[in-house]
Amino acid sequence: MTNLVIMESPSKATTVKGYLGSSYKVVASKGHIRDLPKSTLGIDIDHDFEAHYINIRGKGDLIRELKKEVKNADRIFLATDPDREGEAIAWHLMNALDIPAAKARRVTFNAVTKSVVKEGIKHPRDIDMDIVNAQQTRRLLDRIVGYKLSPFLWKTVKSGLSAGRVQSVATRIIVDRENEIRAFKPEEYWTVTASLKASDGKGFEAKFHGPADTKEKRDLHSEEEAMEVFRDVDGKPFLVESIKRGKRMKNPAPPFETATLQQEASRKLNFQSQRTMRVAQELYEGVNVGAENGGVQGLITYMRTDSLRISDEARDAAKTFILGKYGEQYYPAEPRVYKSRSGAQDAHEAIRPSGAMLEPSVIRKQLTPDQYRLYKLIWDRFIASQMESAELSTVQTDLTAGGWLFRTSGYTVKFPGYMALYEESTDEKNAQDDEKNTRLPSLEEGELLQAEKVLPEQHFTEPPARYTEASLVKLLKENGIGRPSTYATIITTITTRGYVKREGKSLLPTPLGEVTTELIGEYFPDIVDSQFTASMEDRLDGIESGETTMLDVLRTFYDGFAKELDRAFKTVGDREVEVPVEETDIICDKCGARMVVKNGRYGKFAACPNYPACRNTRPLAQTTDGLVEKKPEIAEEKCELCGADMILRTGRYGSFYACSRYPECKNTRQKNRPLGVKCPDCGADLVIKYGKNRTMFYSCSRYPECKFSSWDLPLAEKCPKCGGMLYRKKGKNQIVCKTEGCGYKAEAEDAPAQTEEN
């Protein structure tokens, strides 16, 4: 019996292929093979929102190959990812490949390990159409909003803009925070800090708290109030009035789910959400960790989840590791069980290592730096989540002087527990936490201390902080906006569309983002309403659970949206909204104006606002601190015509050098890119060049001293027959040796080929 397993990812398919016997053939669909058309709505709204799916352009050859495999197979296992998107891909595969229902079986793997894969194959099921319809509904809603709302933005703002259902809400959140910051009015407040020294010579600080008689907290709002305290205590002894000692237990954080993984990777590793999910996907699909560690295997469980549940097997494995590595005192009396938040999807476990005994340090050499750092973060968090709590010894000391109460507090770690391995980070620095971390000297009640210094200081309240990726994901999760699979996509979309930009870790709106948010909020309030979007997520969950139907959700949404759309086009008239220009810190060296950001064919650049009188431009580069001027690469050789520097530019056909005095001097020179292969005649580097009509060929970098050139692609591999240079024939899938008398030929698959740069 022939069994065919169809997966999404080629790398995951390669991993799974090693776990199954010779009676199984494993192939990959490389993601979706069907989708709504790009050029039309693709939804028949008048006929119950019937979707018109088409095969994705460029997937024709793959679909034909998969159809052949389907015809030759007795059973087909659709093993796409274990989420809504994966369920929908399985359904699309079944329809596009004409797979008979009797032959198609759905299987899912929460982790890509040998035991999990074999267990999954043993328990196939039918495709769950409730899950498929939940995904379809999201796709149709997003298409309706984007297709219907974008023309409104073209009419009122500028052409080429696009609107998204969930992305518009995320942009509004960032815009609202920016408005809060602008509207914020700082308030003055003062602190008084006493620098004291204990009898053992160790120093510490105590801060003003309030009147000594009432012990109530009092804020100091002015210099006059602060100086009153200062005058009363300056030069006076400080009496240690009371010392309160206690014990506090600090519990570990639960294992990761998608949102907390993205937050912590942002805080600790400085990873953007998209980078986190890409690396997590690699760890899930499988990595070769060496034969001694099990070969190719998935290192973590599925990374799109909002569940905190872990299997008994995983909990037992963690216990075994903790007892063996740290000892009995580091394992709690009862195993830890974490409860998922209300409304969480519990189809998958929390994100954890698929094998708790596989320590990150053991396989570090087999992982890329990003894979190692993220795997260690996931592994540490999971093991720590099963460890004993940390025990902290706390101390709070009250001191009095001049009728005023000063207070200091801190703690020491009596027993580290889980903190021996891992401690969760936070978004904002908390001054009170810093104080509690202070290690205090030994003090006695009734002891008199002299202050080395008493310092009154002026402060001002600060506005709320801008969102980072970590804090935005946290807010989206708390408000039920989006789902684990969408957080990274939401942030990527609003930044690439130019509605939000990054400055360091902060996210702030662009002028375009503010204008479009205000406009959509005026005419389509539901689209940018957090509660409305969150309720839509609940309705999608209802479709998945069978509580409602796809048609009911689509009809309810569209009835209201169509009315808003009709009213918007009728009332907006010929209104045009002007987008404020985004200024840079770059001063035009031609006329002295402050340059502004413009969008071009090759991305953003700085342009003089006095165009067309001044046509000066500067390239921009996106960094973690925002857009900055990109320093041009200067060629070693000067311009042959005028002697000025030649700088690197990007054009329709790739990179080239142009005279820095352009347009006065229009000299250009092609940049020759290294091929990574040595010349067979002289041993110098071979480079890529272009001839007439932009035809690419390969030449020695020492030309004209060495005149070697070739239309066929030279390869780094040597001929297995004669040891000469191999070439990939131009326009053919064939490897040949051109050494006279050799005659070696092979299909390209038989020898790795150098990739051409286009």
Instruction: Give the active site residues.
Output: 302
With tokens 């995983």, the residue in question is: 314
Query: Which residues lie across from 460 on neighbouring strands?
Result: 188
Give dist(CA 690, CA 715) in Å, integer: 19
Residue of 496, 519, 518, 498 lying closest to 509 (CA atoms) = 498
* 3-class SS of residue 629: strand
With tokens 């997520």, the residue in question is: 537
Give dist(CA 529, CA 532) in Å, integer: 5
DSSP letter assigned to residue 484: T
Token pair, residue 341, equals 């938040």
CA R_g for the chain: 33
| C-beta separation of 502 from 624 below 8 A | yes
| C-beta separation of 196 from 239 below 8 A | no
For residue 129, the surrounding DSSP H or E stretch is: helix 129-156
Token pair, residue 16, equals 């799974």
Could you give the angle at the alpha carbon of 570 between the alpha carbons of 569 and 575, nearest 5°? 70
For residue 175, the surrounding DSSP H or E stretch is: helix 165-183
Give dist(CA 111, CA 91) in Å, integer: 21
Residue of 260, 748, 212, 201 lying closest to 473 (CA atoms) = 260
Rounded to 5 degrees, φ, ψ at 556 are: -60, -45
For residue 606, the surrounding DSSP H or E stretch is: strand 603-607
Task: Say which amino acid occupies 634.
Answer: I
Residue of 275, 650, 743 lying closest to 495 (CA atoms) = 275
Give dist(CA 644, CA 134) in Å, integer: 62
Token pair, residue 101, equals 């229902």
With tokens 């662009």, the residue in question is: 510
Token pair, residue 422, equals 């891992």
Sign of CA dihedral 353, 356, 360, 364: negative
DSSP letter assigned to residue 301: B
**Ramachandran quadrant class, 581 (left: phi over 0; alpha: psi -120 to 50; beta: rest):** beta
> SS3 breakdown of the chain: % helix, strand, coil, rounded to 5?
35, 25, 40
Can you list the alpha helix ranges (DSSP code H) found in 524-676? 530-545, 550-572
| C-beta separation of 633 from 647 below 8 A | yes
With tokens 């067309």, the residue in question is: 612
DSSP labels for 577-601? PPPPP-EEEEEPTTT-PEEEEEEET
Sign of CA dihedral 600, 604, 605, 610: positive
Which distant-in-sequence residues (6+ apart) come within 8 Å of 349 by Cβ?
110, 301, 302, 305, 307, 309, 310, 311, 314
Query: Which residues lie across from 686 on neighbouring strands?
Result: 700
Give dist(CA 285, CA 17) in Å, integer: 12
| C-beta separation of 366 from 175 below 8 A | no
